[in-house]
Chains A and B, each alone.
Chain A
Amino acid sequence: AQSVSQHNHHVILSEAASLELGCNYSYGGTVNLFWYVQYPGQHLQLLLKYFSGDPLVKGIKGFEAEFIKSKFSFNLRKPSVQWSDTAEYFCATGFGNEKLTFGTGTRLTIIP
């Protein structure tokens, strides 16, 4: 079975710091990759996705992610975080005709 690992459970940063959240997946074939964000008290919303092509994907609110096939990774980055980025972030993978597999999430706290 496919699995997704998010090794950072809770990340605390100051405003304007750079962010990188790790995501590794287990499947070695062609996968679709996603990052979802969940703001406090809200539902999950799609932040960005990768299907094919340029491995550097740009999403909403200044976020980007890089697909590195050799490392089975799809890390999320943002050069300068804001207090409003405080949220929980979920990586997910999907391939073929299978359901999405989600990581356990990373809670991000931004200190003003």
Chain B
Amino acid sequence: DAGITQSPRHKVTETGTPVTLRCHQTENHRYMYWYRQDPGHGLRLIHYSYGVKDTDKGEVSDGYSVSRSKTEDFLLTLESATSSQTSVYFCAISTDRGGYGYTFGSGTRLTVV
């Protein structure tokens, strides 16, 4: 969608290496989210942000950290990638916490070998 981009789109990395995924928005939305999508689990929230330098954990935050130094960028870091973190990662943005819905990015397919 216009206004939210994720990079990279695809990545293959080795177990134990750090990986950073980037979400960039041009909508000036306050809230940003990182989800992972896995078969049988739907969407699971990893971390979210409600402003610059304000972040909080979601339901599956272990092994992940985030940073938001600017309104437009929300970075997700896998500190030491494991095979269980092979997934599709989606970023989403919203004007409020959720009452009016989210806009999703195109996703990053991450494979940890």
Contact = CB atoms under 8 A, between A and B. Distances in A.
Partners in one complex: yes
Interface of A: 32, 34, 36, 42-46, 49, 51, 90, 92, 94-100, 102-105
Q: Is the interface of B mostly helix, strand, loop or mixed?
A: loop
B97 A99 contact: yes
A98 B90 contact: no
A94 B98 contact: yes
Interface residues of B, number: 22
Contacts, number: 56
A51 B96 CA distance: 14
Interface in B63-113: 90, 94, 96-107
Contact of B104 (A43, A96, A98): A43
Contact of A99 (B1, B98, B104): B98
The A interface, classified by DSSP as helix, strand, loop or mixed, is: loop
A102 B43 contact: yes
A107 B103 CA distance: 21
Nearest to B41: A104
Contacts of A105: 42-43
B6 to A, nearest CB: 9
Given A90-B43, A100-B101, A44 B96 contact: no
A44 B48 CA distance: 18
A49 B99 CA distance: 10
A21 B73 CA distance: 36
Contacts of B94: 100
Interface in B27-64: 33, 40-43, 45, 48
Nearest to B102: A100
7 contacts: A32-B100, A43-B104, A43-B107, A44-B104, A94-B100, A97-B97, A104-B41
